[in-house]
Amino acid sequence: MARAETPGNLDAPTGSRAATANPESPPPPTLPPRRPASWLQAAQAFYRQGNYREACRALYLATLQQLHETHLIPHQASRTDGEYLQLVEALYMTAVLPHIQPLQTLIQTHERSHFSPDPISRQEYDGCWQAYQQLQLPTSPRQEAG
């Protein structure tokens, strides 16, 4: 399973998928994390350009940033998409997340787009956008019991 991207480890559009997945490639530079609103603006710009792969990626990164900011799933550069799915499922099972399908859609689309040479269609982007709109993440950091 591949390592998932985190909002702080990639900021520019990804180029060749083969180069990105190459284990001999140097790691991307660590950049300050972008706010979810900034990722949404990027998604809209990529959408207008017809770059649905990068538009979906930006929605995915906005979601990861929201999960981090709400202290549900903190960033961890070594975390894979599969590990994110496991954590999301655990949050769903403990009733922290009311819906799991939107997060599954975004994570699975990201994984497929990262490793498949097939383009992401406008319909797939529309599915990611709808999934992002359906997210019901807390709007403020989770309060710790104590």
* Tokens describing residue 68: 């981090």
How is residue 80 annotated by DSSP? Answer: B
Residue ranges of domains in the chain: 52-137
**Dist CA 81 CA 83 (whole Å):** 5
In sign, the C-alpha dihedral spanning 114, 118, 119, 121 is negative
pLDDT-wise least confident of 6-20, 30-44, 95-109: 6-20
Phi-psi region of 48 (alpha: psi -120 to 50; beta: other; left: phi over 0): alpha
Q: What is the pLDDT of residue 26?
A: 53
Question: What percentage of the chain reaches a pLDDT higher than 70?
Answer: 71
